[in-house]
Each structure stands twice: as structure tokens, then as C-alpha cells.
A and B are shown apart, each in its own frame.
Chain A
Amino acid sequence: MFQRIYALILKEFLAMLLDPKSRATILIPPMVQLVIFGYAATFDLNHIKYAVFNEDQGSLSRQLLSRFQGSTAFSLKTSLTSDREIAPLLDSREVLVVLHTGPRCSENILNGSGCNLQVLIDGRNSNTAMLALNYIRDIVSGFSMDLQREHGGNLPPAHLNVRAWFNPNLESQWFIVPGIVAMLGLVVTLVVVCLSVAKEHEAGTFDQLLVTPLTPLDILLGKTIPGFMVGMFEGSVIILLAVVWFRVPLNGSLLILYAGLAIYCLSAVGVGLMISSMSTTQQQALLGGFIFLVPAVTLSGFATPIDNMPPFMQYITLLDPMRYFLIIVRRVFLEGAGFELLWPQFWPMMIIAGVTLTVSAWFFRHKMY
């Protein structure tokens, strides 16, 4: 039996790796994607383009505005001389933020009534707008605090002392890059598995497989193991790059990470086999795979949190294997979470893998008789 399965696995790998085009699609695009998405998918704001309209002659308003110039998060585009210039500049997206200080700003700071810093933000991307506002708030309150300290004014009655755990500098990359392990692992495994069966259906070679001495279980294993190995390989390469190239701290144990990756790959193979055994052509299999992949990636919490979704959507995400593995990979990387904290993520993936593999085994047999 093992020899038969071994031969089938060998054949699968030869079919996959001897075709230069499919070889290239398995190896190169995932690497390119990792690097591009690792840098592109960031919620951090850098070089926020802003314009300044300062009507004040005093030095304090200049000190306030120079804090923005000193920050790497902001980059000054232009200084305005009239308020008519504001709207076209924001409309055309040349700047994201306009800072406007009135003619008596410095004077008002000195006489204690306070300067109003008017901030206009392009809210077309509301998330960017909120983040920019937070950055501005930080700069302005820092300036206020320093002034009060210098001039011996009253301290605020209480102050905030915020600390972020597990990711102290709140780097998006630490959040996104481990997520890419899950995303690319799923995409590559699923596409490879989906096509391997559908291709045989289309070419009629699946029927030939069925008349060989191979049992349906042999065929299932012969199709599962190569997909599983591709997924594990893909996952390992990305984990390695995440640590070596992106320098994401890997605080937890590799053993737990790999246990999670293995079950995750099995569930991806299971879904792929199920889709491809239900379809008769490669195109149907690809579409099926796609129709699964798009919601699976979107609803997994990869880019936007599951908690923000309406409750019925949150229930749908319970069917998504990527949802569970994302939590495992992020928590093992950043928190160093142990098995007891992650167990709630392990068993649902096991159920998904078990159910999908059983269903596809049933389909194999069903097609046989």
C-alpha cells in the first residue's frame, strides 16, 4: 500500500514541478507577494502630506507648527496665504491635512485663553483620517504639556499613561506579516489541490486512476500528501522570511506553530479536495476555489478585525479555517502564547479538516461506483 501511495505522490510532484509554468507559479509569486504585501499592507501613517495656513505673526504658533515639521509622520507640502486655497488643495488630494492658526494664536496662548488650532482632514479614507487625527492630537497635547511645564501652569488633574502589550510600538507589520503566512499558505495549497484533481477529471485520467489497484483511500492520501507538503513548505519559507527579513519577533515555540500549520494545511487540503471533487472541469474548480478563498481571506481578520463585523457575519467566520490559524500564528509570534491559550483555536480546525477530508473521500468512492 505504501509503495502505491508513494508512487502516486511522486507522480503528483512530477506533474507539479516538471511543468515550468506551474513550478514558477508555486515558487515565485508567493515570495514576491510576501515582500510587496509585507511593505504595502500597513496602517501606519508616514509622510502625511499637509499644508499650513498661519495667519499669526507670533513665535508660539511657529513653535507649534515646527513640531509637525520635526515629526517623521508629517511632511509639509506648502504654506497657504489665503483660506480660498484650502478647499482645492484638499479636493485634489494634494494634502491630507490643513492646519490653520488664527491671527491671534500666540497672543491667546500667552493671555491664557488658548489658541484654537483648526485642523481640516480629508476623510475620504476614514481610517487614515482618524489615525492622522490621533497623531495630531499627540503632537498638540505634547506641545501644550511642555508649555504648561515651562510656564509653571496647572498640571491637568490626571494624565493618561498608555502602554501597548505585545507590540509596544504598534507596528502594523508585526500584525500583517504573520498573517501572510496564513493567507499565502491557504491560497497556494488550495489552488494546487483544486487543480490536481480537476485536471485529471478534465483529462479523463481520474477514471484511469480509479481502474488501477489503488483504493479510494490511497487516492485520497496520494492527493492529500503533496498538497499538504506544498503548504508546509510555503508556510516554512514565509515564517523564515518573516523572522529573518521582516524581523518580526518569534516569541513562542516553533513546535506549536508547526502543529497549527500542519492542521491548517490539512484543512486547506480538505477544502480543496472537496471543491475539486465536486467539479468536473478545471475552470469550475478554480471558480469554486476562488469563491471559497475570497470570503475566507476577507472574513478571517487578516486586515480588519472580526469584532467589527455584524454578529451574523461573525458566526459565518466560525467556518473559516484561516480565522483560527491567524490567531495561532499571531499569538505564537508576538505573545509567545502556549498551547493552553491556543487550544480553542486548534480543535475547530481539526473538525474542519476531518469533515472536509471525509466528504471528499466519500465523493471519490461515490464517483467510483
Chain B
Amino acid sequence: MRLCGFIRKEWLQVLRDPSSLAIAFALPVILLFIFGYGISLDAKHVKIAIVTESPGPVASSFTGGLYNSEYFEPVVMGSIQEAVEALNRWEVKGIVWLKSNFARDYMKQESPPISVMVNGIDANTARLVEGYISGVWAQWLELQAIKAGQTLSLPVNLDFRIWYNPAVRSRNFLVPGLFAIVMTLIGALLTALIIAREWERGTMEALLVTPITVTEMLVGKLVPYFLLGMGGFAVAIFMAFFLFDVPLQGSFLLLLACSALFLVTALGMGLVISTISGGSQFVAAQAAIIVTFLPAFLLSGFIFDITSMPGPIQALTHLMAARYYVAILQTIFLAGNVWSVIIPNAAALALMALIFLLIVWRKTVKTLD
């Protein structure tokens, strides 16, 4: 009864504070919009300069492959100097250069080089562009062989299949990963700020002298924000399906359950931050951004592959709740209900939630006496 009254009071407080409602509903929309459209690793229509010093059927059959590829937007340039200048001004990402002796050496079967220069500053894009160009080259070799009436016989042919995401669409893994960021923001940042504000204003101490128990108080604080967070989840799921066309291979209920679990962990994290920061909103906000948001972005496997990180950093990622949630999300969305992924990750989340709540519980008791 007392608990119900308290939850009601907290709930009213949430509803009447426009900024917390904004975080829960407007923020997911804005974030998904920005991230969904703004983050893409699919380099398409990359501008490259083509310099052909020995025009002819052979050269144009190769450059034709570049024109036909959806990855490139070729620009023909008259001289290599012009192309280098364009590369220096960042007007093109790369240069394909067929030198003057290309056609002659080709006829003599001397295997002339096709020079490719890419701007390596953005190493990831440069690597993808390299890959696309060698794809075009491999196709061209095959075509030339067919034209000559032979079949291309390389000793080893690659026959590759990309599972779970055959179209290799980066949005399919980035949008599910965004759930982790949105829920972290709602769960951890919002609670950290709001509880820190209560400490700062002294309304928390006022609560502590009422007959309410610590457990009741924690539950009362958690329930409204939990509901807000699930509201944010609903918004995010709606956008993922209808705006970004992300397929869901696994079961929706399982996704919902895992998300609820992660939300509890995030809320616990927010409570811990606000309690430890001793009631300064400034510190709570900084801490929330540094220990929740940025790791959710960088250390969760959302964009950057965890297994490629150095050992100590990999060990550190195990402390990040977002890491487990991202693994679950990418699996449920793209691969299905793979229990061998879901159970250990969900268990880790549950354990973290428990630890966070225990810390808060202990800390809050201490301030009473």
C-alpha cells in the first residue's frame, strides 16, 4: 500500500517533468533517426578518378566494370597530375591508372599492372574500396577468359557465403545495436541525473526519514523509469521495423525479455552512479557519459569488433553491460534464437543487475545512520 502510494508519487513526478518524458520518447526517435541514417559503413558510389593513357578495347573493358559497379562513381581525368590533385583535394577517394604501355604489354601477355591509389586516411573505407576494386578485377579476368574462349582456371576459387546478413547491409547490425545505446541513455543517464538531483536538493534525505524502507524506495524509484525505458524500447522497435526494415529472425518475446533485463541493469548502473557521485549533477552527468554512453558506443561490439581489441581492453569489455546486450540483439535480430549465445549473455546481465542493485542498497542504508 505504502509502496503503491510511493510509486504513484514517483510516476506523477516523471509525468510532470517534461525533460524526463523528452528523454524517454523524443530521444529514442532522434537517436534512431540520427544513428540509423547517419552511421553507415556501406561505402557506395565512391568517387574514383580513372586515368587511361592507353585507350582501347582492353582498357575500356576494365573501366566498364567500374562503371557497372554500384560501389563506384568513376570520373574520367585527362592526366595523372590532374587525378593526383583531385586526390589531394579529397574530391576523389582513389585513382585507377592504366599507364601508356598497358595495352601493348597486355597483348604481349606480360601481365601489366593496373595502378590503384587510394586515400588511406580513412583506413576502413580504403580497405573496402580495395576489396571492391579487386572484385571488379576478378570479374574482369573471368570475362576476358570467356572472350578468349577459355575458362578461367585459377588454382583456388573462392566460394564465399555470408551468413545471417547475405545482403551485407550494415544497417541490419547497426540498428539493433542502437537499442543498446538508446536503452543505456534512458536507463543510466536519466536515472543518474534525476537521483543526483534529488540528493542535491535534499529531497532524498527527506524520503529517508519517512517510514518507507530502503527496498521500497528503490523499487519505487525503479518502476517509473523502467516503464519509461520500455516505452523508449517500443518506439525504437517500431522505427527499426517500419523505417529501417530490419529483419527479426528470432522471437519477439525473447527480445522483449532480454531488453527488460538490460534495462534493469542500466537502471541499476544509473542508481550506482548517482549514489557514488555524492549528489553532484555535474559529476553524475560526466560519469554517466563516460562509463555508460561512450563504452556502449565503443566497447560493446556495436561497431568495433571486440575480438580484434588488445587483451586488456577485451577484458575490460566484460565489465560493460552493453556488450552482452549487443551480442543478444545482433543474434536475435539476424540469426534467431541461438540459446548458446543468449543464455550466457543474459546470465551476465542478470548478475550485473544484481550487483548494481546490491551496491545501491548497501550504500543507501549507510546514509541512514
Contacts and interface: CB of A to CB of B under 8 A. Distances in A.
B364 to A, nearest CB: 20
Given A88-B340, A307-B43, A165 B118 contact: yes
A204 B265 CA distance: 37
Contacts of A44: 123, 308
Contacts, number: 317
Contact of A37 (B112, B130, B294, B330): B294
A287 B155 contact: no
Contacts of A299: 34, 38
Contacts of B334: 123-124
A122 interface: yes
Contacts of A154: 109
Q: Which of A64, A174, A191, A307 has the most CB of B within 10 A?
A: A307
B103 to A, nearest CB: 10
Interface string A157-169: 1111111111110
B301 A303 contact: no
A338 B95 CA distance: 22
5 contacts: A119-B158, A163-B115, A175-B124, A191-B286, A286-B193
A44 B87 CA distance: 24
A137 interface: yes
The 9 closest A-B pairs by CB, nearest first: A164-B120, A167-B120, A123-B165, A123-B162, A92-B340, A43-B124, A161-B113, A308-B40, A170-B123
Contacts of A113: 153
Interface string A191-221: 1000100010000000000000000000000
A133 interface: yes
B127 interface: yes
Nearest to B47: A307
Contact of B160 (A25, A39, A121, A126): A121
Interface string B249-289: 00000000000000000000000000001101111011101
A128 to B, nearest CB: 5
Given A160-B137, A286-B193, A298-B38, A330 B156 contact: no
Interface in B138-164: 141, 144, 153-164
B128 interface: yes
Interface residues of B, number: 109
A254 to B, nearest CB: 19
Interface stretch (B168-176, B210-218, B228-236, B355-363): B168-176
B1 interface: no
A303 B41 CA distance: 9
Contacts of B277: 21
A85 interface: no
A307 B43 CA distance: 8
A136 B158 contact: yes
A308 B42 contact: yes
B57 interface: no
A18 interface: no
Contacts of A351: none
B330 A125 contact: yes
B73 to A, nearest CB: 10
Contacts of B153: 112-114
A309 B38 contact: yes
Contacts of B169: 126
A182 B119 CA distance: 21
